[in-house]
Amino acid sequence: MPAPAKIQSLFKDAVVLLQKLIATPSFSKEEDKTADVLIEFFKKNNIPIQRVGHNIWAKNRHFDPNNPTILLNSHHDTVRPNTGYTRDPFKATMENDKLYGLGSNDAGGCLVSLLAAFQWFFEQENLPFNLVFAASAEEEISGKNGIEALLPLLPPIDFGLVGEPTQLQLAVAEKGLLVLDCQSFGTAGHAAREEGENAIYAALTDIGWFRSFQFPKQSPWLGSIKMSVTVIETTNKAHNVVPDECHFVVDVRLTDVYTSSEILDIIRQNVRCTVTPRSLRLRATAIPLEHPLVQAGMKLGKTPYGSPTLSDKALMPFPALKAGPGDSARSHSADEFIYVAEIEEGIDFYIRLLACCTET
C-alpha cells in the first residue's frame, strides 16, 4: 500500500514536471529540449540516466540480472497543435482541476505518472523484478529513432507497461497499421474521343473491393480489419486527357488474428492494381489475459479491452499492456487537457499494479 504522504510528494513533483514539458515544444523528431528537461529532473533526484538520441532511460538502483525486467515506457513527443486551439498550446494553465496544454493528455500525464512509480521503487532492495523506465521519442510518427532504436540497447525485457491514456483501463490488445500505396494503370487518350483506357476507372473497381471486402477471421478483442481509401490522385493535370496512371492510398487497421504478410497476400490476390506497403513494422498486438500484469490489473478492478489506436506497443517484441491516466478521446484535440486528479490516480494505480503483479 503506497504511503499517502509519499504519493503526495511524487504527485506534486509530477505535476510540476508535466508543466515544464508542456511549456517545451517537442514535436516528433524535435524532442531535444524535453529530453533536456527530463535529464534535469533525473539529476535533481539523483537517478543515473542514459540518453540515446532524444530517448531517455534509467534502471532501478539494485538491478538484479537474475530477476525479470519490466519496461515502463511512454513518449515525450507531441503532434503539432491543430487550428482549433483557443489557448496557447505551450502554456500549462490550471483551471478547475484541469491542466491544459499540448501533450498534457497524450501522453504527458502517463509519462510523469510512470516516472513517479519508477521513483517509488527505485531505491528499494530485494525487489522480485527489475524496472527500466524509458521516455521515448517519435511515437506520434512511429519513427525509427524512437523506441525501436532504443530497445536493442536496453537490458533484456520480459514484459512492458506502456503509458497511454486509457482511463486506467487495460488495453490488452491494439490494432496495427498497414499503409498501402496502390497504382492502377490505363492508356492515355483525348477525353473528347473514344480512346484510351481510364486509369481512374480501373482504380475504382479495386477501391470498391477495399470498401466492401470483409476478412473472414474476427479478433475477439479487436473485431474486424478495417480498410479505408484515404488519398486518390493522378499524374495528369489536364482536364482533356484520359489518365494512364492513378495512385491511391489505403489505410489498413490490422488485428491480431492475421499477420501483416497474410493480409497483404489476401489483398494482392483480389485486386488488379500494384500494392506496395510502406512498412510491415506496425503489427497488431495482444497480451494474454492470463499474464500476471493483466491479472494484477483485473484484481484492481480494471477492465480489459481492445484499443483501436496505435502506440509504441506495436514495436515491442515482448508482451506489453497499455494503460494510463487520461482519455484517448482528448488526444490530438484542440485545447487538450488532463484532470490533475487523474495524475494522482495514475501514480497510485501504477504502483499498486506493479506491486500486485509480483504477487500474482
pLDDT at 39 over 80: yes
Q: Are 347 and 114 in contact (CB under 8 A)?
A: no
pTM of the model: 0.92
The pLDDT, as a whole number, for residue 112 is 98
pLDDT at 360 over 70: no
* Residue showing cell 497511454: 164
Q: Residue 139's CB: how many other CB atoms inside 10 A?
A: 25
The mean per-residue pLDDT over the stretch 121-148 comes to 96
- Three cell numbers written together for 256: 491480431
Which contacts of 190-196 are long-range, i.e. CB under 8 A and separated by 24 or more positions?
Answer: 190/240, 190/241, 190/242, 191/239, 191/240, 191/241, 191/242, 192/240, 195/242, 196/242, 196/244
The amino acid occupying position 168 is L
pLDDT at 11 over 70: yes
Burial class (CB in 10 A: 0-12, 13-18, 19+), 288: exposed
Q: What is the mean pLDDT of the chain?
A: 95
The pLDDT, as a whole number, for residue 238 is 87
The mean per-residue pLDDT over the stretch 55-68 comes to 96
The pLDDT, as a whole number, for residue 208 is 97
- Ranking 137-151, 192-206, 324-338 by mean pLDDT, the lowest is 192-206
Sheet with 245-254: strands ordered across: 226-234, 245-254, 176-185, 274-277
- Ranking 314-318, 329-333, 339-343, 350-354 by mean pLDDT, the lowest is 329-333
The pLDDT, as a whole number, for residue 1 is 53
% of the chain with per-residue pLDDT over 90: 91
- Three cell numbers written together for 13: 513533483
Residue in 292, 279, 283 with CA at minimum distance from that of residue 317: 283
Instruction: Provide the phi-psi class of 299: left if phi over 0, else alpha when psi is between -120 and 50, else beta.
Output: alpha
Q: Are strands 55-59 and 50-52 parallel, antiparallel or unpaired?
A: antiparallel
Residues 6+ apart with CB under 8 A from 285: 173, 174, 176, 256, 313, 314, 316, 320
The pLDDT, as a whole number, for residue 5 is 79
* Rg (the chain; Cα; Å): 23
